[in-house]
Amino acid sequence: MVKNLARCGYIRRKKIIIKAVDDYNNEAILEFIPDVIINEEEIGVPIDRIYDSRQLEGFSYEEMEFVDDEIYEKIKTVYSVIKWDGEFERGNEDEFEYYRRKFRELLLFERTFIDSETGEKLTLKDFPPIKIPDGIEATYDMESYKYYFFDMDGDGAQELCIPEVSFWAIFKYDKNKDEIILWKRLDASFYYLGGSRIIFWSNGELNTFCELNDDGTEEMTVKFFSCSYENGTVYCVEMPQYINEEEQIKFSKEVKRQCYYDRWARTYFFRVTEEQYKELTKDYYKMKDRVQEGSEEVTYTYEEMIRE
């Protein structure tokens, strides 16, 4: 039973009461809450380093210990192979107009798209995150949006990306099937495009960097954050998580002894110094600085996208 619940990443920790009675009817009662392994990844992690809250919320930062130099060097090696330098690939320039005209039809509601998750065929005006002005409550204005038009998935053809405050929608045209597909949908604030097949999320403290596969699924994800508390600031980094089992990082017993395990996200964090944090994340922040300039080169207005 515990093993099945572990797959869900959740189990209720109940109090256990043991009652013993001897031959003279003397009673002894022992009450305790057992330490329960919820996820297989927890095995080897000290119980006082396992927590259930999101991103260390409610954890005592003062009690967190820094990783030693040997573990830090291992983390540094892993971070050094991450492809931080995202580029907004322009795609095949000879077919730029061909693909623009296909997406022009989408923007003018002359063509449907297929929701890759549900299989539904919809027009943009029927797409849940987008609401078209109905004359009473103008909740969406086509002309006020900016449109990213570049090779998002790295196949040489251009994709259409529509960003808003609370969602991202990325559409792909399948030339062989003559179909437009919702390639990726992100329903949350603080998401950004980092280049072809790269997205990231940042709220000022927590940062998440993702490499995508050519089908829009996440190939690699890594998180890191800084958080101020009463006596200072704590800096934590996560080991990257790869979808491909062969690429997944294996953790030694010593590495697990120095980590803090997040049951909610099923991931390992490590506390590092401010200097180490800056060293590990410097390429990520350089990428963020380049994003503005790179995205401007592939950003178009509504009129530019629907012109004849």
pLDDT greater at residue 278 or residue 86: 278
Question: What is the pLDDT, as a whole number, of residue 188?
Answer: 75
Q: How confident is the model at residue 12 (pLDDT cuts 50, 70, 90)?
A: very low
pLDDT per residue as tens digits for the range 81-140: 999 988 999 999 999 999 999 999 999 999 999 998 889 999 988 887 776 555 544 455
pLDDT score at 22: 65
Task: Write down the pLDDT at residue 131.
Answer: 60
Query: Range with the lowest mean pLDDT among 93-102, 136-145, 199-208?
Result: 136-145
The owner of tokens 């623009």 is: 100
Structure confidence at residue 247 as a pLDDT band (50, 70, 90): confident
Q: What is the pLDDT of residue 203?
A: 86
Q: Considering the chain, what is the average pLDDT of its residues? A: 83
Contact predicate 225/54, CB 8 Å: no
> Would you say residue 56 has pLDDT above 70?
no
pLDDT over 80 (residue 251): no
The pTM for the full model equals 0.80
Both tokens of 219, joined, read 């190939």
Assess whether pLDDT exceeds 80 at residue 193. yes
In this model, does residue 182 exceed pLDDT 60?
yes
Higher pLDDT, 308 or 280: 280
Q: What is the pLDDT confidence band of residue 250, given thresholds at 50, 70 and 90?
A: confident
**pLDDT score of 39:** 65
pLDDT in tens, 261-270: 887 777 889 9
Report the pLDDT value the prediction gives residue 9, as an integer from 0 to 100: 35
Asked if pLDDT for residue 186 goes beyond 90, the answer is no
Distance CA 100, CA 166 (A): 25
Q: Give the mean model confidence (pLDDT) for residues 198-227.
A: 92
Section 169-182 average pLDDT: 96
Q: List, for residues 14-37, the tens digit of each pLDDT value.
A: 556 676 766 666 777 766 444 454
Decide: residue 80, CB within 10 A, 0-12 exposed, 13-18 middle, 19+ buried.
exposed
Rounded mean pLDDT, 228-257: 85
**Contact between residue 22 and residue 279 where contact means Cβ atoms under 8 Å apart:** no
Mean pLDDT, to the nearest integer, of 277-301? 92
What pLDDT score does 13 carry?
46
Nearest to 118 by CA among 109, 108, 128: 128
Which of 89-98, 141-150, 197-206 has the highest mean predicted lDDT (pLDDT)? 89-98
Residue 7 scores a pLDDT above 80: no
**Structure-token pair, residue 33:** 């809450």
pLDDT of residue 49: 83
